Amino acid sequence: MKIKNICCIGAGYVGGPTMAVIAQKCPNVNVTVVDINEKRIKQWNDPDVEKIPIYEPGLSEIVKEARGRNLFFSTDVDKAIDEADMIFISVNTPTKTYGIGKGMAADLKWIELCARQIAEVSKNDKIVIEKSTLPVRTAAALRDILDSTGNGVKYQILSNPEFLAEGTAVEDLRNPDRVLIGGDIETEEGREAMEALVNIYATWVPREKILTTNVWSSELSKLTANAFLAQRVSSINAMSELCEKTGADINEVSKAIGMDSRIGPKFLKASVGFGGSCFQKDILNLVYIARTFNLNEVADYWEQVIIMNDHQKRRFAANMVQTMYNTVAGKKIAILGWAFKKDTNDTRESAAIYVADYLLNEQAEIMVYDPKVTEEQIYSDLDYLGTRSGDANRQAVTVVNSPYEACEDAHAIAVLTEWDEFKELDWQKLYDKMLKPAFLFDGRRLLEPKTKKEIGFEFYAIGN
């Protein structure tokens, strides 16, 4: 089966970069990314490619090359569905904020809307691909909805979870550890659909890295991968607290255990807590699924990863207060970094939001500098928590365009994102601008301690 037209529903952090790379690698396939968010589509179509809505190293260059050639961004969802042979569903699946499963289950309302729209619009057979991260067995629900019209259109449903990490999305897409495709391996049509998608990826991914499985394994593997990754961060963060009490150093511990080839060196960096749109949401979803099957021990086991992460964010902020003589009321604190990790403008579930909220509850005054996050986003993140009014957030938090401005008359600095540029700052200049004693809290183990202490900083780093 030769695929000519691909449609991707959802022009977000996954749909945008993934489709841009497919379009670049498969110039003979037309790729249309659609979204109901008009502002987002307008930004994707901005003549200035630096203004596309997602910041990822290397992304704007690809968009520049492929946009208008075989990569299109549009709000006309019906048209793109109608024309497509293959439809990726890449819409958001956040944690439910209402009703049954509130705070735990994934909210599948956007997925269901997509399925209904595909069923309503389609006139010829389609391959429908779950690109969003979904609870295991969602494909069965999609099947019910798609087949409900009785209009004779045939669908093949595949699961093709995305493993890219933000900040390295382009590199991860170009050079993935593996591509996972789940489908109906029992039938000829199912195998054909899987082969069609394998062929797209095989344009640039070695075949031995393209894995095919049944749909349920594919759906569950995505939740499992995120649970394992997040568990490593919580495990190392748990040890970071023990390091602080015992004189051990978490970086040395990470290195020592990571050299064991059974453990491996990656994802062992202690931090102020993991953030991002995926880890927490996907583990909560896993916990919820386990509980619905009455697997309470399984649920409790994974829930602990989240409990540890919440503790890590809270204890970092609490330690700041305690170190600064048990009060930060009226004190100015500079937060360097708001994104949940470096090289992205995404702030979803960023530890910085929670640390700031904690400090605001202690009546601190906060200055924020992040090289890629907008002022509007920072206020919206704080407002979303609902801890205090929007006015109160705007009164207590100032967003500035330079780290030096953030540190003017500050009592303390908290480094909460590991942006490379923070390593290169003129730390003497920052120190000179601050009130003394000048406290420096490194939530990322980014900074070299010796030189900071020599300058005169009261230096605290996680796990040291």
Site string for ligand NAD, 106-125 (x = CB under 6 A): ----x--xx-----------
Q: Verify binding: residue 241, ligand UDX, rule CB under 6 A.
A: no
Structure tokens at 259: 């050299």
> Cα angle at 264 between 300 and 461, to 5 degrees?
75
Select the residue interacting with ligand NAD from 132, 160, 254, 345 (CB under 6 A): 132
**Cα(66)–Cα(101) distance, integer angstroms:** 41
Q: Position of tokens 């579930």?
A: 349
CA angle 368, 371, 372 (to 5 degrees): 105
181 vs 189: CA distance, rounded Å = 15
**Nearer to ligand UDX (CB atom), residue 30 or residue 277:** 277
Contacts 24+ apart (CB under 8 A), 290-295: 291/104
Among 60, 93, 218, 221, binds ligand NAD (CB under 6 A): 93
CB nearest ligand NAD: which residue? 12
According to the binding rule CB under 6 A, does residue 229 interact with ligand UDX? yes
Among 37, 43, 235, 398, binds ligand NAD (CB under 6 A): 37
Q: Select the residue interacting with ligand UDX from 278, 289, 305, 324 (CB under 6 A).
A: 278
Site stretch for ligand UDX (CB under 6 A), options 97-105, 160-168, 178-186, 207-215: 160-168
SS3 category, 245: helix
> Residue 271's binding partner, choosing from ligand UDX, ligand NAD, none, with beta-carbon cut-off 5 to 8 A by kind?
ligand UDX
224 is in an annotated binding site: yes
Q: How far apart are CA 278 and CA 142, in angstroms?
A: 22
Residue 404 contact, options ligand UDX, ligand NAD, none, Cβ 5-8 Å cut-off depending on partner type? none
Q: Is 283 helix (H, G, I), strand (E, B) or coil?
A: helix
Which x/- pattern, by CB under 6 A, does the window 73-92 give for ligand NAD?
----x------------xxx
DSSP 445: S
182 lies in the binding site for ligand NAD (CB under 6 A): no
Least Å distance between CB 432 and ligand UDX? Answer: 30
Q: CB of 332: closest distance to ligand UDX in angstroms?
A: 26
Query: Segment contacting ligand NAD (CB under 6 A): 4-12, 78-86, 145-153, 252-260?
Result: 4-12
102 belongs to an annotated ligand binding site: no
Quick check: helix, strand or coil at residue 332? strand
Binding window for ligand NAD (CB under 6 A); candidates: 120-128, 162-170, 364-372, 422-430: 162-170
**Local structure of 117: helix, strand or coil:** helix
Binding of residue 254 to ligand NAD (CB under 6 A)? no
Q: Is 278 a catalytic residue?
A: yes
40 binds, among ligand UDX, ligand NAD, none (CB under 5 to 8 A by kind): ligand NAD
Measured CA to CA, the distance from residue 254 to residue 264 in angstroms comes to 10
* Residue 107, amino acid: D
CB proximity list for 335: less than 8 A, separation 6 or greater: 352, 355, 356, 366, 367, 368, 369, 406, 413, 414, 416
Report CA dihedral (18, 23, 29, 31) to the nearest 10 degrees: 60
- Please report which helix (H) or strand (E) contains residue 198, including its range: helix 188-202
**16 is annotated as contributing to ligand binding:** no
Select from ligand NAD, ligand UDX, none the partner in contact with residue 37, using the beta carbon and a kind-dependent cut-off of 5 to 8 Å: ligand NAD
Distance CA 230, CA 207 (A): 28
Separation in Å, CA 325 to CA 186, 369, 399: 66, 25, 26
- Taking a C-beta distance cutoff of 8 angstroms, is the pair 334, 154 a contact? no
Nearest to 26 by CA among 90, 86, 92, 89: 86
Q: Which does 132 bind (CB under 5 to 8 A by kind): ligand UDX, ligand NAD, none?
A: ligand NAD
Residues that bind ligand NAD (CB under 6 A): 9-15, 34-37, 40, 77, 90-93, 110, 113-114, 132-133, 162, 164, 166, 277-278
Residue ranges for the known binding site are 10-15, 35, 40, 91-95, 132-133, 162-166, 222-226, 262, 269-275, 278-281, 340-341, 348, 444
Residue ranges for the known binding site for NAD(+) are 10-15, 35, 40, 91-95, 132-133, 166, 278-281, 348
Residues that bind ligand UDX (CB under 6 A): 162-166, 226, 229, 233, 267-269, 271, 274-276, 278-279, 340-341
